[in-house]
Amino acid sequence: MKQVLLNDGNEIPAVGFGVFLIPNDGSTYRAVREALDAGYRHIDTAVAYFNEQEVGRAVKDSGIPREEIFITSKLWLQDYGYAPAQKGLESSLKKLATDYIDLYLLHQPYGNMVHAWKALEDAKAAGKLRSIGVSNMTPKIWNALVPQFDLKPAVNQVECNPYFQQRELRALLEPDGVKIEAWGPLGQGNKALFAEPAIAALAKKYGKDAGQIILRFEVQEGIIVLPKSTNPARIRSNLDLFDFALEEDEMAQLRALDKGHGTHDPDAPGVGEMLLRNFNVHENE
Ligand SMILES: NC(=O)c1ccc[n+]([C@@H]2O[C@H](COP(=O)([O-])OP(=O)(O)OC[C@H]3O[C@@H](n4cnc5c(N)ncnc54)[C@H](OP(=O)(O)O)[C@@H]3O)[C@@H](O)[C@H]2O)c1
């Protein structure tokens, strides 16, 4: 598996397995076991996915040494601020049944970010977190918030796929070695994207499927991808990206698919309040 070097010296596998919207009714456990069997060594979960516990159990039961698996989780909005973030992190550690997390993100860029980030910096210094990062930061949000942080984030996990290639953000983050992680790397299953003629032609040429062409393109662009699937065949195929390479003119054809915007606009007014209202991670406590 290709590894990507982060700006804090740690390495992250270029392909991770995403578990957003996989329920905590045994499905997440089964999908993560399937992914680990297929060769994934990087799992992307979050407090707000309500499935950290099943991820932790699947990792333990796999028998694979903990240090060989890269686990990401993300703090949710109700836990922002210094003390709440510390408490939220302890809860993630407990649910994941681990004494450290490889990468912990501030999931959404609203509310008391600065104090929550300080808690993550201190947890990193204490060895509970190996790397820390943010998510859903647009250039505007990045420029407003990150100058207030002591440590630069290692990653910014954002919507990214051939239709929304995040060029402005990538140019902004590059000088600091901040890596983009793509959420929705397959356009969340967008059928129009899979049917793009340029993608279909490359799939034919390389004997791959459209998903593999899209993911290979992103990985070749230096982006960390987190494809999600509950289908065992797709779980496997989404990792099978390393026996071919796209040529420069083919990369250019796929770069030309960029529409410059995605399905989610973190800058839109009221998004933070809406997310806080709609996802309450303490609802069942
Ligand atoms: N930070 C954030 O705010 C944020 C937001 C969204 C997501 N994420 C992370 O990013 C991960 C991925 O994003 P996502 O789950 O939204 O979208 P995605 O991975 O782009 O797409 C998943 C969808 O595509 C389908 N699919 C998977 N592989 C396929 C293939 N090879 N061919 C055709 N269809 C395929 C899946 O269906 P099947 O299951 O039936 O295969 C599912 O419907 C999440 O799981 C989560 O870890 C983070």
pTM of the model: 0.98
Q: How far is CA 157 from the centre of its chain?
A: 5
Is residue 21 left, alpha or beta, with left meaning phi > 0 and alpha meaning psi from -120 to 50?
left
Residues 6+ apart with CB under 8 A from 37: 62
Residue 160 has pLDDT above 90, yes or no: yes
Q: How far is CA 141 from the centre of its chain?
A: 18
pLDDT tens-digit map of 113-137: 999 999 999 999 999 999 999 999 9
Domain chopping of the chain, boundaries: 3-278
Distance CA 33, CA 54 (A): 10
SS3 content of the chain, % helix, strand, coil (to 5): 45, 15, 40
Residue 66: burial class (beta carbons within 10 Å; 0-12, 13-18, 19+): middle
Residues 6+ apart with CB under 8 A from 56: 95, 96, 97, 98
Q: Whose CA is nearest to atom 32 of ligand 1?
A: 211
- Least Cα distance to 212 among 183, 190, 245 occurs for 245
20 CB less than 6 Å from ligand 1? yes
What DSSP line would sit under 122-142, residue for residue?
A: HHHHTTSEEEEEEES--HHHH
Q: At what angle do helices 82-96 and 113-125 cross, to 10 degrees?
A: 50
Q: Whose CA is nearest to atom 22 of ligand 1?
A: 188
What DSSP line would sit under 229-248, residue for residue?
A: -S-HHHHHHTT--SS----H
17 CB less than 6 Å from ligand 1? no
pLDDT tens-digit map of 197-246: 999 999 999 999 999 999 999 999 999 999 999 999 999 999 999 999 99
49 is an active site residue: yes
| Structure tokens that stand for 213 in this block | 């062409």
pLDDT tens-digit map of 26-46: 999 999 999 999 999 999 999
186 CB less than 6 Å from ligand 1? yes
Mean pLDDT, residues 144-159? 98
Candidate list 29, 40, 49, 104, residue with the active-site label:
49
pLDDT tens-digit map of 56-95: 999 999 999 999 999 999 999 999 999 999 999 999 999 9
Q: Specify the pLDDT at position 248.
A: 98
Q: In terms of DSSP H, where are the helices of 39-81?
A: 52-62
For residues 217 and 206, is the Cβ–Cβ distance under 8 A?
A: no
Distance CA 23, CA 224 (A): 24
Q: Specify the pLDDT at position 285.
A: 80
Test site for ligand 1: of 30, 212, 228, most ligand atoms within 8 A of the Cβ: 228
- Give the confidence band of 284 by pLDDT, cuts at 50, 70, 90: confident
Test site for ligand 1: of 12, 15, 20, most ligand atoms within 8 A of the Cβ: 20
In CATH terms, 3-278 corresponds, of 3.20.20.100, 1.10.486.10, 3.40.50.720, 3.40.50.150, to 3.20.20.100
Average pLDDT, the chain: 97
**β-pair type (3-5, 11-13):** antiparallel
19 CB less than 6 Å from ligand 1? yes
Q: How far is the CA of 18 from the centre of ligand 1 (A)?
A: 7
Q: Whose CA is nearest to atom 36 of ligand 1?
A: 229
